[in-house]
Amino acid sequence: MGNALPIERLLHAGVRHAIGWRSGAFAELHAGAMAQYDQASPAQARARSLRLLRHVVFRAYHHVPHYHQVLTERRLTPRDVRDFDDLRLLPLLGRDDIRRAGSALHAGGRSRIGARKDATGGSTGTPVEFLRSVTQAAAIIANEDRTWRWYGVAPGARQALIWGADRDVPPTEDALRWPNRLLGIRRLNAFALDDDRCAIFAGQLNDFQPEIIYGYATALHRFAQWTQANPGRLRISPLAIRSSAEVLLPEARASIEAAFGGPVFDYYGARDCGPIAGECRARDGMHVYTDVTWVEIVRDDGSPCAPGEVGEVVITKLLEHAMPLIRYRTGDRAAWHTGEQPCSCGLTLPRMTQLAGRVGDFVVTPKGASVHGEYFTHLFYHAAGVARFQVRQVAADRLRILVEPSPGQVPAAELLAYVQQASADKFGAGPDAVTVELVRQIVPGATGKHRFVLPLGATAAEPLAWMPQ
């Protein structure tokens, strides 16, 4: 079928943006500023980022109780944040801090008009709830178009998604429903990548001829492996493939490119953080969207890392007004690019490399089907009494789900029964094949980061035994 016609792209882009318009999110207000920012000199870009950063701190101090208290306790005012280094006067913000602060992190007044509640996918095993303002929502839409333009793809291009969030890809969605026709999108739910679904989706893609493909790194790789095992079944020529949500390993990139016949670009973002960084056509590190998200890479003691030194990624959302996140710890690890010369693509945005710590794993059912690990995080959404969980595949036909209760709370027996039944149904090995256990603590791995799924053969420390108070 070839590329989409201009009129078709206009239709798809218009419908996609109209979804944002309904909630007051006008991406067009950001698109021009982003295009100018991409062409700005390093000094001009830093000046704009600093203005945005100081504005975030100002609004947080005056409108967000948590930050007003934090700055007051440190005898600070927004005037004390004069440069990027001054941001380190404020403490790091972790997921547990967000839970403790609760609504004290929400802005008051007009800043919350139109804001919507959302939650992370739980790649750390513990979903975090947050607010997203219409300004941030519009910036996310505009940044999508901006990044695709880096790859030479016009807005409104036909896209295929291999994704897993139920709120984004309903498990029973028919890929040919009319809303998807208007949006120019086809979807495959990554929670159940068995051979039959891969074959059906390949046929749909052949008819649809997507210009871009977007998905989880492991899900794209799994579909690519099926394609390579069934030569001739997939006949498409996408302009670009974008991998996200997990670490893109070199072997996976090579396999995906061979299967789909197009270049793969890595993208780094998160539901709670928004857009963070993305590869350009040079694919020499990921450019940080420093007009949307300010990034620090820090050591364990909070001091800044030198170029090439791996540390934790800490972000400040520059366009979020409803629930500002300042110096938010992502739990991910990366390093600043060591290259002294600007990127050959012409962009002057800083680059990061060595992104690690976001590897998502599949659980493989006794019948050989692959279930994306994030499926299990959706079972725990809004679950009271759950601090974190971990799914361990201890045998080809057995899962062990560990649940660490929140301090002073115990999850309801009905919740644990629901998790056990839903997991057993998805795993397809009978009700006794899945156990759900309360444990006092799920011991983190050697890197210090919690993994929400341990596939068959993975090693892990035994949890501390459950000791009810």
Residue 269: CB atoms within 10 A of its CB come to: 20
Each residue of 377-416: pLDDT tens digit? 778 877 888 878 899 999 999 999 999 898 788 999 999 9
The stretches in the chain having pLDDT less than 50 are 1, 123-125, 171, 175-176, 359, 447-448
Longest dimension (CA), the chain: 67
Which domains are delineated in the chain? 6-40+134-356 (3.40.50.12780), 362-454 (3.30.300.30)
β-bridge mates for residue 188, sequence order: 162
The β-bridge relationship of strands 159-163 and 212-216 is parallel
**323, 106 in Cβ contact below 8 A?**
yes
The pLDDT of residue 5 is 65
The pLDDT of residue 448 is 46
All residues at 6 or more sequence positions from 102 whose CB lies less than 8 Å from its CB, including other chains: none
Q: Which of 313, 408, 412 is nearest to 354 (CA)?
A: 313
Q: Which of 107, 231, 56, 241 is nearest to 161 (CA)?
A: 241
Whole-Å CA distances, 303 to 67, 85, 298, 316: 21, 10, 5, 16
The pLDDT of residue 378 is 78
In the Cβ-directed half-sphere of 320, how many Cα atoms lie within 13 Å? 25
Distance separating alpha carbons of residues 194 and 219, to the nearest angstrom = 11
Return the residue matching tokens 């963070």: 276
**133, 109 in Cβ contact below 8 A?**
no
What's the distance, Cα to Cα, between the start and end of the chain in Å?
Answer: 65
Three-state DSSP at 101 gives helix
The pLDDT of residue 1 is 44
Exposed, middle or buried, 302 (CB in 10 Å: 0-12/13-18/19+)?
Answer: middle
Residue 385 has which token pair? 């009494």
The pLDDT of residue 362 is 74
The pLDDT of residue 377 is 76
**406, 387 in Cβ contact below 8 A?**
yes
Residue 94 has which token pair? 């972790």
Residue 337: phi and psi, rounded to 5, are -60, 140
Residue 44 has which token pair? 């001009």
Each residue of 276-298: pLDDT tens digit? 999 999 999 999 999 999 999 99
Residue 262 has which token pair? 């197009």
